[in-house]
Amino acid sequence: MRDQNNKSNVETTPHEPRWRRRKDDRPREIMDAALEMFLERGFAATRLEDIATKASVTKGTLFIYFENKEDLYKSLVRENMKELKAFQEENKFDIHISSQETLLFLTNNWWKSVANSDYGKLPKLIVSEAANFPDITKEYLEEVSRPGRAGIAEIVRRGVESGEFRKVDPALAARVIMAPLFMLLIWRYSVAPFDEDALNEIEYVNTHIKMAIQGLLARPSAA
């Protein structure tokens, strides 16, 4: 009964037209369509008409929200970076386990929750358009890549200080740990569709991080 009353209230409220939600969602829908088209065809080969068709809007509608194709590209990257940062802030936690367990847990958690969302599409897009949009590339490095490396480096640093890890440069170790994961995302949206040997991504991620941990341990295990 309460649900029916709520439904009735929503439908009859004069200040909330039924089309309001659809209109408010439109910029996000256009950016999602553009992201797919840019990944599939590249920025230069993608026409605004193609994006409009995929987003089920007219070309003129695009110009209500974005000045041109360049503005649309920058907006979608910045919006995804903003949402990614918000996600990372919401999912911060303080765990008291060994450094190797922390690395294993964080890597798997990141892959399952972040890499398999639209955020995981950004590396391919950033790399392919880096030279065309240097300002966006720098923003990605500053707001996403560097903070991510800093978090991994801090875990390695703690492991070194506790004697769990051998003495290594934490910043360099963080780059070594993250690079194969970054490359896997680029592979997924470029070469993978043509590769006859299907790759089990989660096994790849686990194999990589376990090999990295073995290389970091002061006393590598026999397992």
In the predicted structure, residue 191 carries a pLDDT above the cut 80: yes
Q: Where does the chain hold its CATH 1.10.10.60 domain(s)?
A: 1-66
Average predicted confidence (pLDDT) for the chain:
84
Q: What is the pLDDT of residue 148?
A: 86
Residue 5 — φ and ψ, nearest 5°?
Answer: -65, -45
Q: What is the pLDDT of residue 7?
A: 43
Give per-residue pLDDT as tens, 68-86.
999 999 998 888 888 777 7
- Span 78-223: which CATH code? 1.10.357.10
Q: In the numeric block, which tokens belong to residue 116? A: 């398999």
- Could you say which DSSP state residue 130 is in? T
Q: In the numeric block, which tokens belong to residue 25? A: 């969602």
Relative orientation angle of helices 69-90 and 20-41, to the nearest 10 degrees? 100
CB 120, CB 39: distance < 8 Å: no
**CATH class of the domain comprising 1-66:** mainly alpha
d(CA 206, CA 213): 10
Compare 116 and 58 and report the one with higher pLDDT.
Answer: 58
Give per-residue pLDDT as tens, 24-35.
678 989 999 999
Q: Is 165 helix (H, G, I), strand (E, B) or coil?
A: strand
Give per-residue pLDDT as tens, 19-64.
444 566 789 899 999 999 998 888 989 999 999 999 999 999 999 9
Q: Where does the chain hold its CATH 1.10.357.10 domain(s)?
A: 78-223
